[in-house]
Structure formats: C-alpha cells, structure tokens
Amino acid sequence: MDGKTALVTGASRGIGLAIAQRLCEAGANVLLVSRKAEGLADAVASLHGLDGHASWAVAHVAKEEDAQRTVETCLERLGSLDVLVNNAGTNPYFGPMLEISPALLQKTYEINQASVVLWSQAAWRSAMAENGGVILNMASVGGLGPEPMIGWYDVTKAAIIHITKQLAYELGPTVRVNAIAPGLVKTELARALWEPGEEAIAARLPMRRLGVPDDIATASLFMVSDEASWITGQTLVVDGGTSNMASGGVSIT
C-alpha cells in the first residue's frame, strides 16, 4: 500500500482502528474519521511509528456536508484518496423489529446504510471518478439471514450487500467496490451480544472462538490491495464458520 491514501470511517476503535493499523503497517497514509476528537487523537497516537502516516478528522457520517468536507480534507492534507472504507455503524436498539421506534429506525438507517452512499458519492465526485480507487463497505453476517433481536440492524447490513453490488456495477472498471461481512467480533459495539455467553457461543463455531478486530482488518487489507484487483461486487464472509453452521438463519447470538 506504499503511496496509497485511505479514509476509514468509524476508526477511533474496534474494527475501524484495526483496519487503519493494518493499512498504516502496509505503508498507506490513513485519515481516521469519527465523531469525537478525543478518541481519534488517542487512536492516531497508537499508530505512531508505523510505515504510513496517520491523521484524523471529526465528522458525522450521516451528514452529507461532513462527507464532502472530510473527503476534501483528505485530498488537501494527504494528497489523494485511493481507498474508502465505510466502516462506521451503530445498533441502538435490541428487540423485535416491529417494536422499534421511528427515531431509532431512522438513526440506524442513516448511519449504517445511507452513509455508505453519501461517502461513496463524495469520494467518487472529488477523487475516484478521475483517478480510480477502491471502496470497501462493512456489512455483517446478519445481513445474510434473519436472527432474533437485531433484525433492523441486519436489514441495514443486508442493504449494504446490495449497495456494494450496485456500486460495483455502476463504478467499474474505474473503482472496485466490495464488502466484508463479519461474524460476531469482540468489539464494544457488540459487547451485549458476546459478553454474556462468549464460551457457549464460541463452542458452537468451527473455529471455537469469536472474532477479534484484526481478523476483519487482515481480510480488509487484502480486499483493498492490488492483490484483489479482479474482485469487485463481492461480500467476503469472515465469521469463523458461523454461516456454515446456522440452521434456518445465521444467528450469532
């Protein structure tokens, strides 16, 4: 990734930070994006000394003006934009889908689903239409089928899988667009899913363990690199075998 520049949303912790670290280790210059400056500053400090340069910018992924401004910041500060990783996500509701409030329904849609389109538009218009590039979207194994209690979250992730296919169709051959579908990964966002029964959940998986952010980061590095130059419109499932073992769905709980 020497000489490449990447922008990673939701990068102050968890999977986003792990992806930023792998990119920096591979020589890329990376702009980390999230909503809180303090977390971003700490994240960038943790990447000091790697081959690539890390910088940060505060933005709300659901705001179109923030997407455009941040892409322009990346171009001004780092000189180019070769890789966009749409990683930011949220899951503010746990329960039956028919009981979710309109406010939480809209928030989940805006951050998980609409933001992928907004940031891809900004990257395409400002940089990638002329210079090419790679877009990687963060879906979920939950987007492959139904499961209890996080149904609306899974709907937004299923939408990302189709958005990925559609953008790959529309933007090729100039831009490759792919997605990663993680299984249950030990992040702060997913703590309510894995912490109460980690050993029991892991025992049901072929790999006998839950994922960690770096499992997703290493796969992401491959997908955005030139080693994956003939892969586009695809969703790579990285789930320790969860989807292979599911019966009547892909439940990770």
Please give the pLDDT value at position 59: 98
Let me know how long the chain is.
253
Paired tokens of 85: 């990783």
Task: Tell me what pLDDT residue 43 has.
Answer: 97
* pLDDT on residue 204: 82
Residue 252 has pLDDT above 80, yes or no: no
d(CA 222, CA 4): 14
Higher per-residue pLDDT: 73 or 250: 73
Residue 208 lies in a domain: yes
Q: Is residue 253 part of a domain?
A: no
pLDDT value at 48 more than 90: yes
CATH number at residue 165: 3.40.50.720
Give residue 114's domain range.
5-245
In a domain, 164, yes or no: yes
Sorted by sequence, the CB contacts under 8 Å of residue 139 that are 6+ apart come out as 157, 158, 160, 161, 164, 179, 180, 181, 235
Q: What is the pLDDT of residues 129-161, one digit of tens each?
A: 999 999 999 999 999 999 899 999 999 999 999
Question: Which of 93, 109, 153, 169 is an active site residue?
Answer: 153
Average pLDDT over residues 95-103: 97
250 inside domain: no
Bridge-based pairing of strands 83-86 and 235-238 is: unpaired
- What is the per-residue pLDDT for 190? 67
Residue pLDDT, tens place only, 202-249: 778 888 889 899 999 999 999 999 999 999 999 999 999 988 865 434
**Angle formed at CA 176 by CA 67 and CA 75, multiple of 5 degrees:** 35
Domain membership of residue 252 (yes or no) is no
Cβ contact 24:50 at 8 Å: yes
CA 104 to CA 138: how far, in whole Å? 20
**Is 153 among the residues known to form the active site?**
yes
Tokens matching residue 198: 């980690």
User: What pLDDT is attached to residue 195?
Assistant: 58
Is position 79 within any domain? yes
Asked if residue 144 belongs to a domain, the reply is yes
Lowest mean pLDDT, pick from 55-59, 102-106, 246-250: 246-250
Q: What angle do CA 140, 4, 173 make, to 5 degrees?
A: 65
Strand runs (DSSP E) across 36-100, as ranges?
Answer: 54-58, 83-86
pLDDT in tens, 1-47: 999 999 999 999 999 999 999 999 999 999 999 999 999 999 999 99
Domain count, the chain: 1
Q: Is residue 32 part of a domain?
A: yes
